[in-house]
Amino acid sequence: MWSNKYLVAPAGAPPGENPGSLQGQLASAPEQHPNCSSLASPIVAAVQAESRKSAQALWASFSATGRTRKAGFSICGGGLAVVLSAFLSWVSVDGIGSTGQAGGGVIWLLLLGGLLAYFGSRILQDRLSKAINIALWVLAGISAVMIVGLFAAESQLGDQGAQPTTGFYLALAGFIASVEGTMLVHSVRHKKATAGLSPPDTDIHL
């Protein structure tokens, strides 16, 4: 049998004033335990402040300006789009089922997109060098081949009753953006070379 000594208050005592009663324990709980929200507020504020500092530091590292910054965002954003497409659906069959990349296809997209995002970030930091320019042209050539292949695959899918989906178009947009950004980098570098402001050819840093 359960004891009722914690449930019954002494005669004449108000229900909330008996410390042994259940109501008394509930009434005194706020006084015995500090407010959790008051403890969490400084932690949340500290995390938000640190996040703002990190975001400001990241943005400050993007020292490139003008067309160089635009090229960097285009290449970096294109690379991130390619990486994201590896995890999305590429093809829908009659609107019933969908399929995406698997195995080597995922690894290839992650590698290519990761390299584009890396070199794009270097351009945003205004670290455009001869080595980066060469690497970008190699990646742009690969991207151009991928673009042609994707357009060809799109027409074949239509003949087979299948339709491209989000991952397909995201990868296509990413490759196009990276090629556009690389061409813009070339024009900026050519303009600097004409003005005598380009980095020396011995600069091989990636």
In whole angstroms, give the CA distance from residue 105 to residue 31.
Answer: 60
Does residue 139 contact residue 120 with C-beta atoms inside 8 Å?
no
Domain limits, the chain: 65-195
Instruction: Give 154-165 pLDDT, tens digit per residue.
Output: 888 777 777 888
Between 5-9, 33-37, 38-42, the lowest mean confidence (pLDDT) is in 5-9
- Return the DSSP state at 21: S
**How confident is the prediction for the chain on average, in pLDDT?**
75
In whole angstroms, give the CA distance from residue 201 to residue 199.
Answer: 7
200 class by beta-carbon count within 10 Å (0-12 exposed, 13-18 middle, 19+ buried):
exposed
Q: Give the amino acid at 163.
A: Q
Pick the closest to residue 166 from 75, 100, 104 (CA basis). Answer: 100
Q: Which residue has the higher pLDDT, 103 or 57?
A: 103
In whole angstroms, give the CA distance from residue 157 to residue 167.
Answer: 14
Supply the pLDDT for residue 6.
Answer: 44
In whole angstroms, give the CA distance from residue 183 to residue 179.
Answer: 6
- In angstroms and rounded to an integer, the radius of gyration of the C-alpha atoms of the chain is 30
SS3 category, 23: helix
Read off the tokens for 49.
């402040």
Tell me the percentage of the chain whose pLDDT exceeds 70.
61
Does residue 86 contact residue 110 with C-beta atoms inside 8 Å?
yes
Instruction: Give 77-113 pLDDT, tens digit per residue.
Output: 999 999 999 999 888 877 666 777 778 889 999 999 9
